[in-house]
Every structure is written in structure tokens, then in C-alpha cells.
Amino acid sequence: MTTIDGVWGALTILGLAVVTVVARGFFLFPEREVKIPDWLQRGLKVAPLAALAAVVVPEVIMTHGALIATWQDARLPAVIAASLYYLWRPGVLGPLLAGLAVFLPLRWWWGW
């Protein structure tokens, strides 16, 4: 690694730190409460779910940048198991464990 790469890396980390502090502290700086419109509040409620879906769905249905071509992929039954468990008992840990209970045997023993 050259000195220039180290400098650019340090500047990048510093810039990201500044952006993070400003973004997280935005609501702490004003003296009075900032009024957020109702439409923005509703949008912010679903933003984490949308971000999670944007990360998880491509990981489940794609391999190496292309759609999966076979049903023999351990991710598909694992997603179905986790979804069914979530419909039965909503939560975080239960569906995670249900999905892993299906995914791991299919991946390790059957090689899917």
C-alpha cells in the first residue's frame, strides 16, 4: 500500500464519520422540535423494511448476478420455512432458526 492510498483511505473514513455525525445529530442541533410532515413520518416507518427487502431479495433469487435456474437451491426452501414460521408466530429469532434448520441440512448433506 502506498502513502497516497493511506491518505485517501484516512480522508474517506474521516468524511464518512463527519457525514454520520451530521446525519445522526441533525435532530439534536435545533433548539426547538423539528416538525416532520405526516407523509414523511409514514415513509420513515417503512424505510427499514424496504431497505431490508432490497438487500435480502436479490440475495435469495440471484446467484453470480443472474436469476437462479433451478429449484434445488437451499435458499428457496429456507425462505419458505422462515416465512411460514413467521406467519405462525411473528418475531425475529423463530423464523431465523426455522430458515437455518432447513438451509443447513440441504446445503451440507445434499449439496444444494
pLDDT at 17: 95
Cβ neighbours of 14 (radius 10 Å): 10
Cα–Cα distances in Å, from 39 out to 33, 57, 112?
Answer: 18, 26, 44
Q: What angle do CA 106, 109, 111 make, to 5 degrees?
A: 65
Residue at 109 is within a domain: no
Residue 1, pLDDT above cutoff 70 = no
- Alpha carbon 90 to its chain's center: 18
Residue at 50 is within a domain: no
Q: Could you tell me whether strands 66-67 and 62-63 are parallel, antiparallel, or unpaired per DSSP bridges?
A: antiparallel
Domain count, the chain: 1
- 112 vs 109 pLDDT, higher one: 109
Tell me if 68 sits within 8 A of 85, measured CB to CB: no
Tens-place pLDDT, residues 40-51: 888 888 888 888
φ, ψ at 30 (rounded to 5°): -65, 150
Tens-place pLDDT, residues 18-62: 999 888 887 777 777 778 899 988 888 888 888 888 998 898 889
φ, ψ at 69 (rounded to 5°): -100, -5
Residue at 54 is within a domain: no
How does the average pLDDT of the chain come out, rounded? 88
| Domain containing residue 31 | 1-35
pLDDT at 106: 93
Mean pLDDT, to the nearest integer, of 5-21? 91
Residue at 49 is within a domain: no
- Alpha carbon 69 to its chain's center: 24
Residue at 101 is within a domain: no
Residue at 69 is within a domain: no
Tell me if 77 sits within 8 A of 71, measured CB to CB: no
Residue at 74 is within a domain: no
pTM for this entry = 0.59
